[in-house]
Amino acid sequence: MKNHDSKQSADALRTDVETVLKSVSPEFHSLSVDLNQILKVSNNPAVVSALLFKLVQERQETNKLLSQLNEKYDQLMFEWKTQKAGFSPLNPLLQSSAPSPETRELKKNLFEVLPEQDQMILTLVDQKGKVDAEIVKASLGYKGLNAACQRLNKLFKEGYLKKIQSGKKVVYLANH
């Protein structure tokens, strides 16, 4: 008889809890009803699998949204930095092949947009007056000359450095 009494008191308590939840927060009550239904069948592996699958789908959607937000943030920061520096893809001063004093001044403002390695190379050129691939390789810790040569050529093509070739050796100077 005790078993029957405890079952009745548990049912009464559950009814009281449901009544209180309905009055306090109908939205939470509807969620708890869903949870109660899930808990009743949670010992079934198929239900657990379905819940995990849904969780994975939601996580993928969240990651996709975060990725899109990061891309948009990066794009906005790039636009903001280039506008701050006076750079515009439509600016004819930056499109000429021989850099004018105005172009060089605008490109000086772009120094902060350059990758860290390029900034380090330009600092090295300012300190030493001239550099070659060997010096850049040793200073930046590159394993081979190829990476140093590529960086130096890139900076030359962008108008940051002057290039002087003497025999097989190529020396780079600051383009002031």
Model pLDDT for residues 27-50, shown as the tens digit of each residue: 776 767 667 777 778 788 888 888
Average pLDDT in the chain: 77
The answer on pLDDT for 18 being more than 60 is yes
Q: Which domains does the chain have, with CATH numbers?
A: 2-81 (no CATH), 115-174 (1.10.10.10)
Handedness of CA 122, 128, 133, 137 (dihedral sign): negative
Q: Are 140 and 120 in contact (CB under 8 A)?
A: yes
- What pTM does this model have? 0.39
**Residue, of 136 and 10, whose pLDDT is higher:** 136
Model pLDDT for residues 116-153, shown as the tens digit of each residue: 888 899 999 999 888 999 999 998 888 888 889 999 99
Maximum mean pLDDT: which of 3-12, 56-65, 117-126: 56-65
Give the H/E segment covering residue 173.
Answer: strand 169-174
Q: How far is CA 97 from the centre of its chain?
A: 33
